[in-house]
Amino acid sequence: MSDSIYQEIVFTAAPARIYRALMDSGEHAAFTANGAAEISREVGGAFSTHGGHILGRNIELVPDQRIVQAWRVKDWPDGMYSVIRFELKEEGATTRLVFDHWGAPEDQRDHLADGWTARYWEPLQKYLAS
């Protein structure tokens, strides 16, 4: 298993706006532009994003503050999950998103780290600015 992926991103948006974009199926699909998303807003509820390529379940949800999910790529071995955590910290007119991802296969760490930037943070910045 890999070391944790740790990233911090500053958005010009309120924590509630970012939380909604991450947890609303329609908004998530819109900003990722990678196919359908079905996201439960309940602890223990399942999610599927990127047209079913990413799967998981919600471990902890604190509206507008924290999302913790068991997360996996569809072609990983059955039962293999990593964990992702989004922490939203309001800083004046901006929000700092502190992101951790741990438990993914070591040989996929760099690919996953690059993917979070290219497929989440950059598109989310553009989406929130539109």
Convert the pLDDT of each residue in 119-128 to its tens digit. 999 999 999 9
In the chain, the number of structural domains is: 1
- The DSSP 8-state label assigned to residue 50 in this structure reads G
> Global pTM?
0.94
Structure tokens of 120? 């989440």
CB 55 within 8 A of CB 46: yes
Q: Return the pLDDT at 33.
A: 80
The answer to whether 12 touches 110, Cβ cutoff 8 Å, is: no
User: Which residue range is the domain that position 107 belongs to?
Assistant: 5-129
Kindly report the CATH number assigned to the domain that includes residue 20. 3.30.530.20
Rounded to 10°, the helix 122-129/25-32 angle is 110
pLDDT at residue 1 tops 70: no
Structure confidence at residue 3 as a pLDDT band (50, 70, 90): confident
What is the tens place of the pLDDT at every residue in 10-40? Answer: 999 999 999 999 999 999 999 998 779 999 9
